[in-house]
Amino acid sequence: MQAFIHPTLVKLFDGIKNFQQRAYELDSVNMKGLVEDGQHPKILLIACSDSRVDPAILTNAEPGDLFVIRNVANLVPAYDIESKYDGARAAIEYAVRDLEVEHIVILGHARCGGINALLKTLSGQKIQRDFIGDWVSLAMDGCMHYAIEQIAKSDNELGESVSEVNLDNLREHQHLVERAAIRGSLDNLRTYPWIKQRIDTEILNLHGWWFDLESGDLWATDAENTVFLPVIE
């Protein structure tokens, strides 16, 4: 009997062999410590499931560095004690209350299919999917609040009327909607009582990041998590 590796998966199998050499044969101490002492990541990173924005690849992270949650459009649902079967909330709770991470980063990105689905829903198009429409609607409040605020601001600077802000504007500014969704998820994180308590006592920090797929640039929120600024070294 031999394990079956489908031809499409051979590249992954080769990757695991490479990792085994790198992490176990050449640098066995790190993995040994992680196995014996357990994981102690300081960062919870919430990213999109999109294949182009794998957080470990983007950040060159090592085993033990990141506790990661990935879902469509990197969304965080608000605290809801009645919701019993939700992977995102359970993983957030484990990261914060058990692993005691010190930072939560929400990593969004350009050309997000989930945010595009949200924009379609907002413009009245029916998403022919069983779960995606409801899931991305989690970003509705953040999108309506922060994206419209931002677009209205830039329109005002151009001398245009705030009343011109509508769904067409939103579609033209998908990157603002992506960033607005990140801010909405940061707001939702603050609805978890044990997260709010840790923020208030300054043992936990929230961060919003947005990755520009086209240029490779990273944008990050300021200390108040209100605006996104390019990260320049």
User: Which one of 26-34, 104-112, 123-131, 153-161 is the stretch in contact with Zn ion (CB under 5 A)?
Assistant: 104-112
The correct pick among 66, 112, 143, 189 for binding Zn ion (CB under 5 A) is 112
Q: Which is nearer to Zn ion, 74 or 221 (CB)?
A: 74
Q: Which is nearer to Zn ion, 48 or 170 (CB)?
A: 48
The correct pick among 46, 48, 105, 119 for binding Zn ion (CB under 5 A) is 48
Site for Zn ion contains 50 (CB under 5 A) = yes
Site for Zn ion contains 170 (CB under 5 A) = no
Q: Which is nearer to Zn ion, 136 or 151 (CB)?
A: 136
Site for Zn ion contains 178 (CB under 5 A) = no
CB of 73 to Zn ion, least distance (A): 5
- CB contact at 8 A, 44 and 95: yes
Q: Which residues here bind Zn ion, judged by CB under 5 A?
A: 48, 50, 112, 114
